[in-house]
Amino acid sequence: MKSKMQEKGQALIIIALAAIGLFAFTALAIDGTRGFSDKRHAQNAADTAVLAAALAKIRAPGDDAAKTAAAVTAAEARAYSNGYFDDPDTVVDVYLCSDPQATCEDLPTGANLSEYIQVRIVSTIPTTFARIFGRQTLTSAVQAVARVQGGGSSGSSWGNAAMVSTKAGDLDDCFWDTGTADVITHNSGIYVNCSGDAALSMNGNAKLLMDANAEVVGCYSYNGHPTITPGLECSINGGVSQNFDSQFDSVPTTLTPPSCGSTPGSPPGSTTYHGGNYTNLNITGNAVLSPGVYCVTGSVNISGTVTSTGKVQIVMPNGNLSFGSDQSFSDLEIYTVDGDITLNSNGDILSADRLRVFSTGNTDFRVNGKGIVDSDNAYFYLANGDINWNGQADIDLHAPPAGDQFGGLLIYKPLTNTTSTTINGGADVDLTGTFLSPGAHVTINGNADFVLHSQFIASTFKIAGNGEVEIYYDPDENYPWPDDTTIELSQ
C-alpha cells in the first residue's frame, strides 16, 4: 500500500510535465503568433513592393538596365517604408525572374521571364518562450511576383522621352541639331523613330546633353565637334520604325461651338460690350467684355485695353482676330474655322486665367516681336495652320490640370496637320504640358530660348543657330498616354 508521501511525489512529476506542456503551448501561442503576424505583414510588404517595382519599370526613362535599376530602387524603398530593409535580421531581394538568383516558380509554360519581377523578403524573428526549448529565432520567408506586359516593358520608351521624332521610314536628318544649338533634357532623353544611317544628325559645335540615353531606331552622324552626353547606340530597336498613327486616335480635339442666337451686339465705341451678333468687332479704347457668346461673321480687332471677369466665347467662322495693347480675361474661348489669330508687337499682352483656342480649319497663331501671352490653364487645337512665335516674343503657358478633358495637353496639331512650326530668334518660351505635333516639322531658330516642363512631340526637328531647347520631363505634367501596358500580381 502506497503512502501519502509517495503519492505527493507522483503529483510533482505530473505537475512538472504539465508545466512543460504549458510552456510549449505558450511558446506556440506567443512566438507562433508573432511569426505568423510577421509573415503576413512581410507578404503585404512584398506585394506592394513588387507592384511599385513594376510601375517604376514602366515609367523610368532609358534602356532596360535603367528601367530595372529603377524597379529595384522602388521596391526597396517600398519595403523599407513597411519596415523591411537589409540588416542582420532581414534580407530584401529584388530580381527579374530571368536573373540567375531569382527563385520564381510555377510561372506559365513558355513565359517570358524578363516580364516578371520577384521581391523576396526573409526575416529573422527572435523568440521569447521558445528559447526554453533551444529555439532562439524563427525564420519567415515570403515572395511576390508581378508581371509587366506591353509597351512599357518592351524597351521602347518613346512615351517617356522628353523629345520624340515620330517620322517613320528609312530616312536621315529626322532630328537635326546644328550650329551651336544646345538640346538639354532632364530626367529623360530623346527618341528618334527614323531608321536611316543619319536619323540623328549633329553639326558644328551643337550639344545634346541628357540625363538618360537617347533611343535612335536608325543611327547617327556628326560633323565638326558636337557634344553628346551620354553616348548613343545605333539600331536600339532593331532598325525598324514604329507606326505611331493609332497612338493619337483617342487624343481629344475640340469642343462644339456655342450657339449664337439672334441677339444684336453692342454698338461701336461702347465701353461695355455684351454677347450677341456682330458683323465686325472693333474695340479701340478701354472696354469691358461682359460674359457671353460673341458671334462675329467678319473680323475682330482689339487694340484697346480690355478686361473681362467671366467667360467670353468668341465664335468667328472666317475672319481674323487681332490683339493689341493689353487684354486680360478670366476665361476666354475662341472658336474659328479659317482665320488667323495674331498678337501684335510692342509689348502687347494677352493674359487669361483659362484660355482655349479651337480651330477646325486653317488658322495660324502668331505672336510678333515683344508680344506676351500668359495663361496658367491653356489649350490650343489647330486642325491646320501654324504656331509662329517671332523675335523677342514672351510665351508663358501651362496646360490644363489633371481631371480636365484636355489635362496635360497644351498644344495639339493633329497628325493630318503637316504645317511646320517655327520659333524664331529672340523668343522666350516657357511651356508646361505636352506640345503634340506628330505630323509636322518643328524648327527652332537663332537664339530662341525654349523651356518645356514636359514633352515635345513632332514629326521631325531642327534646332539651329545658337538656340537652346531645355526640357524638364515630368510624366505628371504630361498628357496621360494610353497604352497596352498591364501590371499583374502573379504570386
Residue range 347-381, pLDDT digits in tens: 789 999 999 999 999 999 988 878 899 999 999 99
pLDDT of residue 285: 87
Looking at the structure, tell me whether residues 180 and 132 fall in a common domain.
no
Look at residues 120, 153, 186 and tell me which one is the last residue of a structural domain: 153
Output the pLDDT for position 226.
Answer: 75
Backbone angles phi, psi at 449, to 5 degrees: -115, 110
Considering the domain architecture, whether residues 214 and 329 belong to the same structural domain is answered as yes
Judge whether 271 lies within some domain: yes
Q: Which of 92, 126, 153 is the last residue of a domain?
A: 153
Cβ distance 173 to 151 under 8 Å? no
Q: In the prediction, which pLDDT does 362 show?
A: 94
The arithmetic mean of pLDDT across residues 450-460, rounded, is 87
Please write the tens of the pLDDT for every residue from 214-231.
Answer: 888 888 888 877 777 776
Do 358 and 405 belong together in one domain?
yes
- Do both 224 and 337 map to the same domain? yes
Secondary structure of residue 463 in the 3-state scheme: strand
To the nearest whole percent, how much of the chain has pLDDT over 90? 31
Question: Which three cell numbers mark 408?
Answer: 496635360
Among residues 153, 169, 192, the one where a domain terminates is 153
Give the length of the chain.
491
Which of 146-160, 252-266, 296-310, 375-389 is predicted with the least confidence, judged by mean pLDDT?
Answer: 146-160
Q: Which residue, chain included where needed, has cell 510601375?
A: 55
Q: What is the pLDDT of residue 153?
A: 32
**Residues 163 and 128 grouped into a single domain:** no
Per the domain annotation, does 291 fall within a domain?
Answer: yes
| pLDDT 10s digits, 432-452 | 999 999 999 998 886 666 788
**Which residues are bridge partners to 190 per DSSP?**
163
On whether both 206 and 144 belong to a single domain, the answer is: no
Would the pLDDT of 43 be above 90? no
Q: Which three cell numbers stand for residue 143?
A: 515572395
**CA 99 distance to own-chain centroid:** 30
| Domain-located, residue 134 | yes
Q: What whole-number distance in Å separates Cα of residue 56 and Cα of residue 58?
A: 5
Number of domains the chain is built from: 2
Look up the domain containing 276 and give its range: 158-483
Kindly give, in sequence order, each residue whose CB lies less than 8 Å from that of residue 9, ignoring residues fewer than 6 positions away.
none
Instruction: Give residue 266's pLDDT.
Output: 93
Q: What pLDDT sits at residue 311?
A: 95
265: left (phi over 0), alpha (psi -120 to 50) or beta: beta
Q: Does residue 352 contact residue 332 with C-beta atoms inside 8 Å?
A: yes
**Region 58-84: what's the mean pLDDT?**
80
SS3 248: helix
The yes-or-no verdict on residue 30 having pLDDT over 70 is no
pLDDT band of residue 287 (cuts 50, 70, 90) is very high
pLDDT of 70 above 90: no
In a domain, 423, yes or no: yes
Average pLDDT along the chain = 82
